[in-house]
Amino acid sequence: MFLAALGPAAAASRDAIKVGEGIAKANCGRCHAVGRKGESPNPKSPPFRHLARRYPLSNLEEALGEGIVVGHEGLEMPQFQFDGKQVEALLAYLHSIQR
């Protein structure tokens, strides 16, 4: 397998992406399209694959770690606060799906 040939860093990255995908599905999928395709269940919630069009993903690191609170025009987003490893995994996943 190609990633295995790249060594432990690539495997760790792949694992982080998988963990990040799980975090996105469990915490965000109620409102956002969290995959590479599909529409957001809440039309006011941007698909995750387009987030980098709105702002640099690196800007999310602090917000995710300190607690992110955002409204989507009538549907309030629950407050989330993730630990460092969760933030890293979620950002790895978000970077992996950007279009």
Please provide the DSSP assignment of 58-75 as one string: GGHHHHHHH-B--B-SSS
The reported pLDDT for the residue numbered 76 is 65
Of 60 and 97, the structure prediction assigns the larger pLDDT to 97
Mean per-residue pLDDT of the chain: 83
The reported pLDDT for the residue numbered 65 is 78
The angle at the Cα of 89, spanning 87 to 90, to the nearest 5 degrees, equals 65
Q: pLDDT (tens digit, 9 = 90+) per residue, 45-54?
A: 899 999 999 8
Query: What separation in angstroms does the CA of 48 have from each of 2, 8, 57, 59, 85?
Result: 27, 27, 10, 14, 19
Q: Which domains does the chain have, with CATH numbers?
A: 6-97 (1.10.760)
